[in-house]
Amino acid sequence: MSGLPGVPEQTRPEQGAPDPLRAGFVVGLDVGSSVIRCHVYDQEARIRGSSAQKVESLYPQTGWVEIDPDVLWVQFVAVIKEAVKAAGIEMNQILSLGISTQRATFITWNKKTGNHFHNFISWQDLRATDLVKSWNSSLIIKLIRGSCRLLHFFTRSKRLLAASLFSFTTQHVSLRLAWVLQNLMEVQKAVEEGNCCFGTVDTWLLHKLTKGSEYATDFSNASTTGLFDSYEMCWSRLIASLLSIPLSLLPPVRDTSHNFGTVDEEIFGVPIPITALVADQQSAMFGECCFHTGDVKLTMGTGTFLDINTGKNLLQTVGGFYPLIGWKIGQEVVCLAESNAGGTGTAIKWAQQLNLFTDAAETEKMAKHLEDSEGVYFVPSFSGLQAPLNDPHACASFMGLKPSTNKHHLVRAILESIAFRNKQLYDMMQKEIHIPITKIRADGGVCKNSFVMQMTSDLINQNIDRPVHIDMSCRGAASLAGLAVGFWTDKEELKKLRQSEMVFKPQKKWQEYERSMENWVKAVRRSMNWYTKI
């Protein structure tokens, strides 16, 4: 793909001559919250070698969630070496590297020495909860919302609508970074001396891979921090000023598919171009080839993420879909609207730990073994309920238990709850985002469960396409990296290479589930506000 900023034009061989690019391989990595995964792809987008390692979270205090950067770095290097070895190739055959990362997890480090000041502070971390509450109820935020609401009434500006709905969350980097600047003296001092670097996981990995010579992030990662103005495509001076965060602390923002520099030769023995940095959900969207307005991606992993391609337009909704930059490649900027639900893969893993089954693959048969859940309902709320209910104090629960209830009923109730949550998110998207849906594609570990997939298809009355390979964050990172060096020609070629394993088509009418879903919604409402302090 030509014309990418900072990417040298590739010279194609003459007709009939062997193409050296086509003889190589591209590596895609996904550094998630629970797993680091690496795939080596050939020119047909087949996975030639893979490796994965579990990411260990640290919990130094109640509500704090961290990751040891030294351990993460060792694992990151190891999975690349293991995947290349598994592919039976040499490091010098790797043409480019693309890195997808968990979003809004960040770190600060010493600019001169490269030593970090603290562990990674995860997007799941709650240490800034009090700051979030304080700011959201502050007079200044109320004034900003009120004035923007008034101005939106007269101008109908989408940007003013977004500002009128703005609120901080613990998942944003913004207030967790403000907490660091307020509480860690070492970081304060380094900022004052101009000796502090800040970065999300992608920025830190780039800095480490290039031995400190490169420092940047991309638009997809920046747009998830709560510090970025996606309308102006730059760091927000207003939010940085409000929170006393120096703009100089924030890294330069580059295109998603871009020449980010080269891996230092000492690490893998050869220099390898780094040509894509991308946030994980946006990467999965790209990997699924959801390139057109109205394309939808349903990721069911640890949580559920529903994204719709909104083209060039940023769309903010009242119900809970938030605007993101999907990717920027040259002049092309693609926007997404996203909403999410927690407790998807988490609920299945929890049930496995209770010995309700030994392998997640069994759950599909267990659910299909029954005609229904016999009135048992599960509320998947291990981390509260997200949109459209937005209750952080809701509890996870089973309701409708009877003496005849067995583990099959419990498992079916868990799987049904995932499909019901998918229906809620889909209905909210239909109601608030007036873009005709062109296609729906699924990915993530839970999409392997055909019971959940079929029930979701029935509930939303839409076809859902499941790919052969479900690790779409890796695939997206590799696709973006491969485009940058001409390994793949364009997005049309990527579309042809994507393989569909199965398309789930509606088999039952939504009305057949209506009563069950009504009862499930009743169970959800009874689980709300459970943890509210009196």
The pLDDT value given to residue 1:
40
DSSP-derived letter for residue 250 is: S
Helix ranges restricted to H, 88-117: none
The pLDDT value given to residue 143:
87
Backbone angles phi, psi at 116, to 5 degrees: -80, 150
CA distance 278 to 83: 20
3-state secondary structure 398-447: EECCCCCCCHHHHHHHHHHHHHHHHHHHHHHHHHHCCCCCCEEEEECHHH
CA atoms within 13 A on the CB side of 264: 13
Residue 13 predicted with pLDDT over 80? no
The model's pLDDT over 325-384, given as tens digits with 9 standing for 90+, comes to 999 999 999 999 999 998 899 899 999 999 999 999 999 999 999 999 999 999 999 888
Better pLDDT: 53 or 141 = 53
Local confidence band at 163 (pLDDT 50, 70, 90 cut-offs): confident
DSSP-derived letter for residue 79 is: H
Q: Is 85 exposed, middle or buried (0-12, 13-18, 19+ CB in 10 A)?
A: middle
What is the rounded average pLDDT of the residues 454-471? 96
Specify the range with the lowest mean pLDDT, choosing from 12-26, 55-69, 156-170, 486-500: 12-26
CA distance 443 to 250: 32
CA atoms within 13 A on the CB side of 348: 27
Torsion of CA 222, 223, 224, 229, to 10 degrees: 110
Local confidence band at 85 (pLDDT 50, 70, 90 cut-offs): very high
Residue 320 predicted with pLDDT over 90? no
The model's pLDDT over 169-205, given as tens digits with 9 standing for 90+, comes to 888 999 999 999 999 999 999 999 999 999 999 999 9
The pLDDT value given to residue 11:
35
Helix ranges restricted to H, 173-312: 173-183, 185-192, 201-209, 219-222, 237-242, 265-268, 280-287
Q: Which helix (H) or strand (E) holds 448?
A: none
What is the rounded average pLDDT of the residues 45-67? 94
Backbone angles phi, psi at 507, to 5 degrees: -115, -25
Local confidence band at 317 (pLDDT 50, 70, 90 cut-offs): confident
The DSSP code sequence of 26-73 is EEEEEE-SSEEEEEEE-TT--EEEEEEEEPPPB-SSTT--EE-HHHHH
Share the mean pLDDT of the chain: 92
Residue 219 predicted with pLDDT over 90? yes
Residue 238 predicted with pLDDT over 50? yes
The model's pTM is: 0.92
The pLDDT value given to residue 358:
96
Local confidence band at 22 (pLDDT 50, 70, 90 cut-offs): low
The DSSP code sequence of 155-182 is H--HHHHHHHT----TTSHHHHHHHHHH
The pLDDT value given to residue 9:
39
Q: Left (φ > 0), alpha (ψ -120 to 50) or beta: where does 343 sit?
A: left
Residue 159 predicted with pLDDT over 80? no
Residue 32 predicted with pLDDT over 50? yes
Q: Which helix (H) or strand (E) holds 103?
A: none
Q: What percent of the chain is helix, strand and coil (3-state, nearest 5)?
A: 40, 20, 40
Residue 14 predicted with pLDDT over 50? no
Local confidence band at 161 (pLDDT 50, 70, 90 cut-offs): confident
Give percent above pLDDT 90 in the chain. 79
What is the rounded average pLDDT of the residues 391-405? 92
